[in-house]
Each structure stands twice: as C-alpha cells, then as structure tokens.
Structure 1
Amino acid sequence: MYISSLPRDVLLDILFRLPVKPLIRFSLSSKQLLSFIHHPQFINLHLTRSKSNPFPDDNFLLLCYKSSLDFKKQYCSISSFADGGKTLIEHKKFQLPFKSSHGEYGYVKIVGAANGLVCLFDNDFYSPAADIILWNMVIGKCKKLPCSRLGYRYRHSFSHMVVGFGFDSEAGDFKVVQILYDVDSDDIPDVLVYSMELNYWRKIEAIAPCYMPDRWSSNVYVNGGVHWMAYKRPRVGDLRDSIMSFDISGEVFKEMALPSNRPIGYDKLHLSASASGETLSLFFQFDDRWEVWLMQEYGVVDSWMRQVSIVGEQISLPLNLMDNGDVLLETKSGNLVLCDAENQQMNDLGISGLYFRLVPCTSSLILLDRGEKNVEVESACIFQDDLARTTAYGTHHHRLPWAGEELFMQDWSIYSEEETLELMSEINTNETAEMNRWVEFYHNQPHVMRGVTSLKS
C-alpha cells in the first residue's frame, strides 16, 4: 500500500470515514497506519465522528441467554436490515474472551453497554464476590477492573449490589457505578464510582432515592444516564413504580415518573431502550396484551406516548422496540421472535433459550490502545484513598484466556513482509474499494497533491 504521498490531514480524513473492522485490518499493513489508528486521540475522534455519522453496520443488539439444550450461556449479535419494506434480521454467535474466574459456579451477566464497550459482571451464586470486566466485542479486547474496597463489599450488614455502566461525555471517560445495599433496606446505601481513565474507585456522597431488591437489576443507558426500574419505598409489593437514573457526568441520582396517563392494574413492567439506544421505552402487560410506550423527549414525563399494543398468550416478555416499530420478544416456549406490531405477525428467528437479555451496542476502537490479546490485569484492590498503599503492596498479574480472532490482536512488529502481504490479501474487497474511493476523491481535488496511488497499486 503506497500512501506516503498523501498529506497527513487527508489520510486522517479518509481513515475517519472507515468502519472499525477495516481500520483494524488496514492498521496491520504499514507502520504509518498502525501509529495513526492506534493513537488514543484518533480512537476518540473516530468515536465522535461515527456517533454523528454512524456506519450502516455500526449499531447492533447484543443478546445473552441460556441455551435450552445444555443451559450454557450463549451470546450473539443481532443486526437488522431493511429490504423492500421488510426487516431482515441477522444474528451471529460468538464467545466471551475469558472464562469465569468462579469456575463451574460462575455466572457472567451483562450490565450494559455504551460507546462500543460492554460491561460484564462475573460472580457466583454463593458469594457477593464479583469481577467487573469492560469488553470491546468488535475488536476483541477486554479490561478487568480492579476490585473496589473489600471493607465495603463484605461487611456483615451487606446485602447486595446494583451495578451500572455508562460514558461521561464531558470528561470523555467510561464509568461504572456500584450501589451497595445493606440488609436493612431503610439504610442509605453506599455508592462507589470507577473511572476508566483514572483506574480507581471512589466513594461519592450521592444518595440513591429508590430501592432495588436482591435480584439482578438490568439497567438501560440512555442520554448520558443509567436507568433502573426501582421502588420508591422498600417493601411495597411486587410492582415497581419508579425509574431511578444516575447521571454519569454529574454523578447524581434522579427519579423519573412512569407515564401519568398509563392504564392502572398492569401485571408486569419492563424497561428497555430503542434499538438505536437513544430513547427510553416501557412495556406494560395487561393479561395477554402488552403495551409499548416511548419517551419522546428525555426527562419530560408528559412526553411518554403509547406506540403499539401486542396481543398474544404466548408472549413472555418484549425485549426491544426496533426503529421501524417492530418488537423483539421472548415467547413462553423460549423462542426469540420478531413481531410486526401493525399486523400482529410473529417471525421466529431460530434462537431458543431462557433468560434473554438484550442491550443496544455500537462499534468503536475503544481499548485498542490498551493491553494485549491476553489482557494483563492488576489484581490489587485500587481505591482513591489507597493508591500509595497499593504501590507498597506491589501487584501481580494473571492472564485472561483469549477466544477472539488472532488477526485483531497481533502487533504489527511480529509480522514479516510476506506475512503482512498475506494478511492484506484477506482484506475484504469492498473495504479496499471504500478506501480507494476516498483516495481518488482527494486525488481529484485541485488543492490536494496529485499522483496518489490507490491500494491496489
């Protein structure tokens, strides 16, 4: 690939226009591209640009469920495509890049996703001990977080924790929040926040206004905040009647009311986000009917609007409202189906299992400049007040078993010239054509130097 004649700003502009996977592959072809694409500033700017002008394949849904055959956890990505007015669904299975550190009793759950990173919670059924891992599933890299202070997690009055994950757009930082509830549900819970940029936990003074019981509380990341279904008061029965949110940038909690004009007497309630991840949605069940509500203007209670109703005794739980109005849902027989809400038609997607969990995701280069294919993780506990003490302790490392594509994780320097050419031959023709298109575009501009050679030269 001859790109040395391209001005630096022109080359960067071309690279900014390419999706994540082609960028990873192109970075293996030259030291110049490697240095550009792996640079932290490029990674952040590429994320900013792709958010304002997303690539067609950038947004997808991450599905986690238990197989109905062997009850093992399964993970797959779900993408939708428009074809002649119809929605086509494509799903691809994949493996996590690590094994649970809790052995056969380990249980990895999805906390949430934001800007290309998925937050995972790895624990077992018999202990509150847990590992929190940030994972970029597109490039195959993950980062295990240092544990928060043990004194908070294992004190005698500790009951359970609730975890949330999101992106601080003001600081350009990913954060994880832990709410640590005591056995006495009337006590004010401790709140801890982890910063990926600073790589430590700290206790904040924010007060969680609602209560979440001792079971896994799925959360929804929308508009810079993490959202959970919660109780306004402890012990109010089976119906959750409030949405609690945590502003990732401001690090404050808020309450959000349910639709004031909703019908009363619902049987079940489920909080979700639209497939694009930009809007809150609620699913209310009334006997064999589900209503789908969407918050048109974030934070404005009166903007809750009912979108569609779905009728069917076989429906167990609606999971996601697609951008075209279709609904992904789980049936009582354990099948994932796509429902055309307008015609009330169900399309089985060929996925069977239990305990479906669905979160909107996007592609990004985040974590590309951090770690190796086997991620080295400091096992020492890091807390804001304990940084000096952590240094005194020293650290030891262990590696997480890798299950991703070798191509994504290799360092350019380990390839010979022949191996690099072989890797380049594997690059998709469309990806090469896309980059050539932009090279030729700049080639034809009068203010840009001529004589630029395309990738095929």
Structure 2
Amino acid sequence: MADANLLPEEIILEILKRLPAKSLLRFRCVCKSWSSLITSPNFIISCINRNNTSQNNTYILLRIYSETHKKEIYTLHCDNPTIDLHTHLDFPFTSFNPYFRIVGSCNGLICLADTLYTHKNDIVLWNPSIRKFLSLPEPSIRYDKAWVFMSVLGFGFDSRKNDYKVVRIAGDGSKIVPPRVEVYELGSGAWRVIDAVVPPYEMHHCWLQTNLNGIVHWLAFNPCQMGGFQSLIVAFDASDEVFREIMLPPSLGSENLLNLSLTVYGDSLALCHYSQGTQHRRACSIWVMKEYGVATWFEIFTIDLQQGVGLALRFLKNGEVVLATGEGELVSYNPNERQVKSLGIFGSSHPLILHTGSFYVDTYVESLVLLDSLRL
C-alpha cells in the first residue's frame, strides 16, 4: 500500500472511482488522505456520475412483500435479459403497516415511509450498499384539530445544490384550508416550510411517485371540475421547488386514476393505461412523452397477457418491461417479439396490495451517500 502513495493523485482518484462501495469503505483505513478523499462530497458525486453512465454498474432494485413470510425482501439484479440475481440486501427495519411504501430511489439512496393509517411520521433515508440509514426528524407542519392518514411524499435530487430532498404535502383533511408544503434537505438535516402553491388537485396514487431528472411526478385529478373530473400529472422540481401541471393524452384526460400509472422509458416519462383486453383480460397500453414539458404523447405499444396485466413497473436497458401480472407473478415482456418471460418471482395477487407497492422495481447504482451518517 505504501507504493500507492507514489502514484499521482489523479491516477489514484481514477482507480478508486472504479471500485465498489464496500471496497471503498475498507480503503478508508489505508491512510488519512484516502479517508479524506473517499468521504469528500466531490468524490462521492464523481462516483455516482460514473456509475450512472456505466453499463456495468447499474442494477435493478427489486422489493417484494412476501405474504407467506410477512416481510419485505430486497434484492439487486443485473440489468440483463435474464435479470440475474446480484445480491440480497439486509433490510433492518420494521413497520407499523405490513410494509413500507417506497417514496423513491435516487443515486443509491432509498426513501421509505411508514405513514399510512397511523399517527406516526416515520420517514427513513437508507443506503443499503453501505448499510447506513438516517431517520428524518418529525415534520414541522402539524394540525391541532385533525391529522392526515396519507400525506403526499416525494423524493428527488437537487442537481444545483447536489442535495437530496423529501417533499411533503400536508393538509387538515378539509377543502377549506389549502395544503401546505415542506421540504427536508439532507444537507441541512431539517424540514423547511416553503411557499410553493399546490395545484388544487388530489393525488390519488400518493404511494406511486416517479422521479425523472430530479422532478417528482404524481398522478392527480380535480374533483371539482364542472361536468366531471380532469386527470393529469402534478410535477415538483426539486431544484426550483415549484409545482407544475402536465396534461395527459386527450383520450385519457377523464380516465380513472386506478387505471393509470407512471414509469420511465429511457430518458422519457411514460404513462401506463390499463384496460379490458380481449376475452376480458386486463391489457396495458404504454404512452411516452418524447419531449419533456411538451404534452405530446405517443402510444408505442400495448401489452395483452393471458394472465392479465396488474402493474407495469420498469423498463430495462434492452427495452423490455418488467411487470406484475394479474396473478401476482413478476414477468418481463419483450414488445418487439411480444414474448413473456417468467422471472420465477411471486408476490400478492390482491388488487389493493398489487397497486400499493407489493412489488417495487427501479434502477439502482451503488453510492457512498450517507457515508457520514451516525447510524449503522
């Protein structure tokens, strides 16, 4: 190891950036200069940027809730046609609800919340690759006369500040008092109430957010619309901390939100519409907004399975989509060949559990975020 100090610093930096997170944790003990380098924010960010652009360092994060064992199971898989198992993750938490809702995942950091149907506001930031987590402090927005069973949460990355943020929309459950918004910043370690104006919509799938380029997206609807209601997407930009509205395809503007979900297709936002297919099977059509912010949607293909489509979860690098069937089985679907491949993974087939996150699939990269956390 002594010879390593004879290498130029820039070469040492390039070598270290290519190492897995667990190796970097050990190499902090080599010398003070290495420890200082590995724990520096600039090094952590440079590792994330490299991993995000490397085909070999991107994994698929999978969470299933096992009804048999009554617990959550987290695994990492290779992003390849067979989705090979890479490693099992040690999940160190217990929840009031059967399982945590995953608010979002970004740069190796996972935001978990145990806030449904309880007075608790337990929100955790967890980095499984280095086995670190941070429990967030109690939110600052509280109501004396009422409390909310389901506050709306989002998790995103502020690229301007290189900081991670949790956004919380809370109200007193009435239509009289408008909801208020607060943001937790990892850098400051505190909640901060912001003046953002929340669009007057209800976010029905508050447990299903989609993150794209630091912008959090929820499906929502306006129940006060004359002659019916209007479905749309509400977006929150983690950098400028404002809400925006994105219109759905005109044919889906009045669709029930239970028949819609959001995901990411490459670098684009994707909308999934579930409907009755042939022989009363539930089918799914995939719409893509090719230019972000310009609400021009294109329907690219439809999935129609014998066992039904429960929920489309995530697209792989090869263009296949991972989805849960109506029978609670995890499969991959090739839209070009129209072939279905079983992944040998089964969860719940109960419609409510299926739609509230029994399965969770997202891209994942190892990182050192939370390395300076006191929790282990």
Which category describes the TM-score, using the shorter chain as reference length? 0.7 to 0.9
Bigger mean CA deviation after superposition, 313-322 or 111-120: 313-322
The aligned amino acid for 1:131 is D
Corresponding residue for residue 7 of structure 1: 8
Q: Which of 357, 368, 373 is the equivalent residue of 1:370?
A: 373
Corresponding residue for residue 297 of structure 1: 291
Corresponding residue for residue 230 of structure 1: 220
What is the alpha-carbon distance in structure 2 between the residues aligned to residue 9 and residue 306 of structure 1?
47
Q: Which of 259, 266, 272 is the equivalent residue of 2:263?
A: 272
Deviation digits for residues 299-343 of structure 1, max 9, x if unmatched? 1112x2222211124122221222322111111221101112222
Once the two structures are TM-superposed, the CA of residue 294 in structure 1 deviates from its matched residue by 1.8
Corresponding residue for residue 145 of structure 1: 136
The aligned amino acid for 1:271 is L
Q: Which of 354, 359, 366 is the equivalent residue of 1:356?
A: 359
Preserved contact between residue 162 and residue 216 of structure 1 (Cα < 8 Å): yes
Q: TM-score, normalised by structure 2?
A: 0.85
Q: Which of 285, 305, 308 is the equivalent residue of 2:301?
A: 308
Preserved contact between residue 192 and residue 203 of structure 1 (Cα < 8 Å): yes
Mapping 1:68-83, distance limit 5 Å:
68-81=67-80
Pick closer, same or farther for the CA change 1:344–1:71 going to 2, 3 Å.
farther
Corresponding residue for residue 276 of structure 2: 287
Bigger mean CA deviation after superposition, 87-96 or 287-296: 87-96
What is the alpha-carbon distance in structure 2 between the residues aligned to residue 78 and residue 186 of structure 1?
47
Once the two structures are TM-superposed, the CA of residue 214 in structure 1 deviates from its matched residue by 6.7
Q: Does 1:180 align with 2:175?
A: no
Preserved contact between residue 205 and residue 219 of structure 2 (Cα < 8 Å): no
Pick closer, same or farther for the CA change 1:283–1:141 going to 2, 3 Å.
same
Q: TM-score, normalised by structure 1?
A: 0.71
Mapping 1:299-448, distance limit 5 Å:
299-302=293-296, 304-314=297-307, 315-354=309-348, 355-373=358-376
What is the alpha-carbon distance in structure 2 between the residues aligned to residue 110 and residue 80 of structure 1?
20
Corresponding residue for residue 89 of structure 2: 94
What is the alpha-carbon distance in structure 1 between the residues aligned to residue 70 and residue 44 of structure 2?
38
What is the alpha-carbon distance in structure 1 between the residues aligned to residue 228 and residue 343 of structure 2?
32
Preserved contact between residue 59 and residue 79 of structure 1 (Cα < 8 Å): yes
Pick closer, same or farther for the CA change 1:263–1:236 going to 2, 3 Å.
closer
What is the alpha-carbon distance in structure 1 between the residues aligned to residue 253 and residue 116 of structure 2?
39
Q: Which of 107, 117, 121 is the equivalent residue of 2:109?
A: 117
Corresponding residue for residue 55 of structure 1: 54
Deviation digits for residues 179-230 of structure 1, max 9, x if unmatched? 0033223541011111111111111111111433576431111022100001
Instruction: In structure 1, list runs of 5 or more residues that go unmatched.
Output: 82-86, 374-457
Deviation digits for residues 273-300 of structure 1, max 9, x if unmatched? 23x6x42111112212211112222111
Once the two structures are TM-superposed, the CA of residue 262 in structure 1 deviates from its matched residue by 6.0
The aligned amino acid for 2:299 is R
Higher relative contact order (CA 8 A, sep 6+): 1
Preserved contact between residue 107 and residue 367 of structure 2 (Cα < 8 Å): yes
Corresponding residue for residue 439 of structure 1: none
What is the alpha-carbon distance in structure 2 between the residues aligned to residue 96 and residue 363 of structure 1?
16
Once the two structures are TM-superposed, the CA of residue 124 in structure 1 deviates from its matched residue by 5.8
Preserved contact between residue 269 and residue 285 of structure 1 (Cα < 8 Å): yes
Preserved contact between residue 262 and residue 269 of structure 2 (Cα < 8 Å): yes
Q: Which of 205, 208, 229 is the equivalent residue of 1:218?
A: 208
Number of residues paired by the alignment? 357
Q: Does 1:255 align with 2:218?
A: no
Preserved contact between residue 64 and residue 356 of structure 1 (Cα < 8 Å): yes
The aligned amino acid for 2:39 is H
Q: Does 1:156 align with 2:145?
A: yes
Preserved contact between residue 221 and residue 232 of structure 2 (Cα < 8 Å): yes
Preserved contact between residue 167 and residue 182 of structure 2 (Cα < 8 Å): yes
Once the two structures are TM-superposed, the CA of residue 132 in structure 1 deviates from its matched residue by 0.9
The aligned amino acid for 2:6 is S
What is the alpha-carbon distance in structure 1 between the residues aligned to residue 153 and residue 249 of structure 2?
25
What is the alpha-carbon distance in structure 2 between the residues aligned to residue 76 and residue 185 of structure 1?
41
What is the alpha-carbon distance in structure 2 between the residues aligned to residue 368 and residue 171 of structure 1?
18
Deviation digits for residues 156-185 of structure 1, max 9, x if unmatched? 233331000111111111111100033223
The aligned amino acid for 1:117 is L
Pick closer, same or farther for the CA change 1:325–1:8 going to 2, 3 Å.
closer
